[in-house]
Amino acid sequence: MDHDVLIIGGSFAGTSAAMQLARARKQVLVLDTGMPRNRFAAASHGFPGQDGQSPADIKARFSEELNAYPTVRFRDGAAVSTKREGSGFRVSLADGGDVAARRIVLAYGVRDSLPNLPGLAERWGASVLHCPYCHGYELNRQPVGVLARGEMALHQAMLLPDWGPTTLFTQGLVRLSPDETQSLQSRGVRIEETPVAELVGSGTALEAVRLEDGRTVALAGLFLAPITAPSCDIAAQLGCEMREGPTGPYVAVDQTQATTVAGVFAAGDLASPMPNATLAAAAGTMAGGSAHRSLIFDPDLRQHDGRAS
């Protein structure tokens, strides 16, 4: 085998997995397309020791730390297909090459699908946001909105008043029960039934949304739950079980980050219904350690594939 472990994805989860394996002196290849989900955000918040740093700078620092370990290599590129080969795997790459590894850690994340509204896409990660814990504090208690796409909007709207005066834009997609309406009103949430037609503001800043009836509502930030999907289909090719989360499918893993396919582990947004940088790094740490233990205690992958708990 070329490598002990192939890690597909080089952001927070993938590099955290690589660190554990590097310290176990395993031969590791990190395959990375350089297109992390958080590339649109200017800063990452709530990540201990990295609060306020740009995701690109955090990733570069992690990679620099890993470069101190002689058994870790990075390779630019995407995985396009994979198959089981003996007691390991062979992965074909977009550049025509292939890689063999005894174990695989999937950490390639998810891609976001956004509503088709004028002015929204260019503000994604700057003033159109998905996580109040990551970005709400910096809005300085200015007015914020929630753009409904499904039932997650109610959850977001209940949380957001702690960060600023909140308006829920139902977009004709959410029908609130009397109890839900009362709960929102008890939190001071304004409910707007007229759909948002466009976002307005200078550059990537948000100043207001314009409604279909021509009215404008002043906002400093607009929150929504994006529809997500895995960034590639490698997990599906391997036969990993998937689960349905609040925004889309994710890879099922057990408490050790093992998938339902023996020898394959997954971490980060790809393997969690709750995206978060700190949680991604923690899951990557577990996945790397679990892959190492698998090499020791199940070297020939004789344990039966099972279902993640």
- Regarding whether 99 and 120 lie in a shared domain, the answer is no
Low-confidence ranges of the chain (pLDDT < 70): 1, 303-309
| pLDDT value of residue 308 | 58
| pLDDT value of residue 304 | 54
Structure tokens at 194: 């007229």
- Regarding whether 124 and 78 lie in a shared domain, the answer is no
In a domain, 307, yes or no: no
| pLDDT value of residue 52 | 76
Q: Structural domain of residue 139, as residue ranges?
A: 115-223
Choose the final residue of a domain: 223, 239, 260: 223
- Regarding whether 232 and 102 lie in a shared domain, the answer is yes
- Regarding whether 174 and 240 lie in a shared domain, the answer is no
Q: Report the half-sphere exposure of 223 (CA within 13 A, side-chain side).
A: 28
| pLDDT value of residue 38 | 76
| Main-chain phi, psi angles of 140, to 5 degrees | 55, 40
Choose the final residue of a domain: 195, 223, 251: 223
- Regarding whether 239 and 198 lie in a shared domain, the answer is no
What's the CA dihedral at 294, 299, 301, 303 to 10 degrees?
A: -70
What residue type is 298 in one-letter code? D
Question: pTM score, two decimals?
Answer: 0.93
- Matching residue, tokens 């002689």: 70
- Regarding whether 267 and 205 lie in a shared domain, the answer is no
| pLDDT value of residue 192 | 97
- Regarding whether 103 and 231 lie in a shared domain, the answer is yes
Q: Could you tell me the CATH number of the domain that includes residue 209?
A: 3.50.50.60
* Sheet architecture: strand order including 208-211: 196-200, 208-211, 216-218
| pLDDT value of residue 37 | 77
Give SS3 for 128.
Answer: strand
The answer to whether residues 29 and 73 touch, using CB atoms and an 8 Å cutoff, is yes
- What distances in angstroms separate CA 4 from CA 7, 40, 88, one per listed residue? 10, 33, 9
- Regarding whether 285 and 239 lie in a shared domain, the answer is yes
| pLDDT value of residue 46 | 77
In a domain, 252, yes or no: yes
Per-residue pLDDT of 179-201, as tens digits, reads 999 999 999 999 999 999 999 99
Measuring CA to CA, which residue among 33, 88, 40, 59 is closest to residue 232? 33
- Regarding whether 259 and 160 lie in a shared domain, the answer is no
- Regarding whether 216 and 235 lie in a shared domain, the answer is no
Choose the final residue of a domain: 223, 254, 277: 223
User: How many domains, in total, are found in the chain?
Assistant: 2
- What distances in angstroms separate CA 145 from CA 38, 46, 68, 152, one per listed residue? 21, 21, 45, 13
- Regarding whether 140 and 13 lie in a shared domain, the answer is no
Give SS3 for 157.
Answer: helix
Four-residue CA torsion sign, 244, 117, 177, 160: positive
- What distances in angstroms separate CA 140 from CA 5, 29, 132, 133, 161, one per listed residue? 44, 42, 12, 13, 12
